Structure 1
């Protein structure tokens, strides 16, 4: 049986060494290369042709998410698993949006590492159990909060998140500026959000807009 070829990308040398040792005990998994520099990952993929890349989410210079976007674009067949300390749904969402095939917490059980790599290699998406639970909880909370908004409020929120001014929203929806500002005030009140940046983050989380819109 051909082993699953893995590339490690993490700027912490000791952590990387620990992951390598753990994977070496798996007869069906082979670590073919490693680096602490996400910018070097593309060249290493070109050279070593891994099936799966284990990518730290936070590294100096290029972030793991930015590197994932580049990897997935340049090598669509390569599966990227994000390694992270953050179980928050927002981080998971950004990772999946970047094209990651998995999200593995660094505090995960040893056995989970092999399970995640094998799942990704099979073309599946793997999320740590703690992450899966948190995603479900936050999804339900998000669904409840968005239901509190009227269709008009959702549309105004979407345009706010896309960077429209009150005047531009008024023109687009054939409303007065005063009406738009009234809706914006009510949005903040209903969502307990107190600034435009918060509204933008909320709109991204609930899927009204994507981060690159």
Structure 2
């Protein structure tokens, strides 16, 4: 979908009612975003999503009954087109890695501005990935990056990978590089094959390690 052409339907999932109501009140003031419902844990979210049919689920990680990681995994299996955006207070590398591996399209912290929250919602709704700066730094800190080695990729593939790592979707990349979407998709598949990587988090880490960002 294109967020510039249609309303993004959002469902909120958090076990803290005050947090839910506060975020809902903020988002309901935003043009182009419709908060269609809310849930207080993963099990309730799985029940409600069938009727609410949101485009984006904005969900916490730590919740009773079923946490955000397990819920994200089930959403990916049952509703592969549904976009999951994690909104958490936890700046935790393991959480971020697991959630992105299981299909979350974005990860932001609860102290982000409402403007960044809205930007993240619209970005993941369009099919791209959004990880806030603090979460990105957590993902790649503690000396876990490696020294750049001779790249396995062509300059064109590196240009595409750097944009994938920044959260651009294939259409946006095609516009920037003035090539067709099908060519971008072919390059993306070649990149994954050459690097033996599959997830956006893995590709982003490789781009970071190779100083492509």
TM-score by length of 2: 0.64
Q: In 1, Cα distance between the equivalents of 2:92 and 2:110? A: 13
Q: In 1, Cα distance between the equivalents of 2:79 and 2:40? A: 20
Tell whether the 8 Å contact from 2:41 to 2:67 is kept in structure 1 after alignment: no
Given candidates 27, 49, 52, the residue that maps to 2:56 is 52
User: How many equivalent pairs are there?
Assistant: 146
Larger Rg: 1
Structure 1 unaligned spans of 5+:
146-213
> Corresponding residue for 1:80?
84
Q: Which runs of 4+ in 1 moved over 4 A?
A: none
> Corresponding residue for 2:38?
34
What pairs up with 1:1-213 in 2 under 5 angstroms? 1-138=5-142, 141-144=143-146
Q: In 2, Cα distance between the equivalents of 1:120 and 1:143? A: 26
Cα distance, 1:20 vs structure 2: 0.3
After superposition, the C-alpha distances for 1:85-121 in whole angstroms (9 at most, x for unaligned) are 1223222101101210011101111211101100010
Q: In 2, Cα distance between the equivalents of 1:72 and 1:21? A: 28
TM-score by length of 1: 0.64
Q: In 2, Cα distance between the equivalents of 1:19 and 1:33? A: 12
- If asked which structure has higher relative contact order (CA below 8 Å, sep 6+), I would say 2
SS of equivalent to 2:107 = strand
More helix per residue: 1 or 2? 1
Cα RMSD (Å): 2.1
